Structure 1
């Protein structure tokens, strides 16, 4: 039996290695995941709009974090879907449950982001 040698990266090499893999994941999402692309296409103009509104720093931060939470949720949902599909493409009830919970996470983050936007605009 052949043993696999695992190299444990430390210090700056670990940080660089992590950054490269994170960038590759983000690049993959931007290129291949339609839902992430759509949410990113909303994030960019809405971010510009938030700054154009000349909101307070706290309100700008809140709306930005609300929108970033949607992107985070979509990343988690996509990761769940990728793992479930990697395990097997045949139907299994628990696979459906995992995918539905990931989808619910995205929906909940969108509702929270909308609530933040609505509240900030109402207070303005």
Structure 2
């Protein structure tokens, strides 16, 4: 890798980080579901630290919350792009939005399974 290529990668890091931060701010400002998921993360992060028996278990518990947040961000991006194209009803636009919603549902199901199992094992002991 040449010195020029290394410099190019570093020069893109700051703008990419800024764009990511702007995206997180926009999601928090405009998407109530994302705000709810941030709240869920803030509440359950310390709970996960307390109830996890190992780092791997902690990582799995946190990944379940993060999966919902990641999926919500992608779903919101799809919805925003479709709404930008036009607000009239179209079969493909509706399908895209439904698929994004289904992805969020799958992430929530993963969360319920992971946290449900952990809570079940805690209560069973």
Question: What's the TM-score once normalised by structure 1's chain length?
Answer: 0.88
Does 1:81 pair with 2:79? yes
Quick check: 1:59–1:120 contact (8 Å CA) kept in 2? no
Count of residue pairs the alignment pairs up? 116
The answer for the alignment partner of 1:38 in structure 2 is 36
Deviation of the 1:73 alpha carbon: 0.5
Provide the C-alpha distance between the structure 2 equivalents of 1:115 and 1:85, rounded to a whole number of angstroms: 33
- What's the C-alpha RMSD, in Å, of the aligned pairs? 1.4
Provide the C-alpha distance between the structure 2 equivalents of 1:32 and 1:54, rounded to a whole number of angstroms: 33
Deviation of the 1:31 alpha carbon: 1.3
Q: Which runs of 5+ in 1 are unaligned?
A: 1-8
In the TM superposition, what whole-angstrom CA distance separates every residue of 1:65-102 from its partner, at most 9, and x where no partner exists?
11100000000100000010011000101111000000
Tell me which stretches of 4 or more aligned residues in structure 1 moved more than 6 Å.
none
In the TM superposition, what whole-angstrom CA distance separates every residue of 1:40-83 from its partner, at most 9, and x where no partner exists?
11111011111122532111110101110000000010000001
- Structure that is richer in helix per residue: 2
Q: Which runs of 5+ in 2 are unaligned?
A: 1-6
The answer for the alignment partner of 1:112 in structure 2 is 110
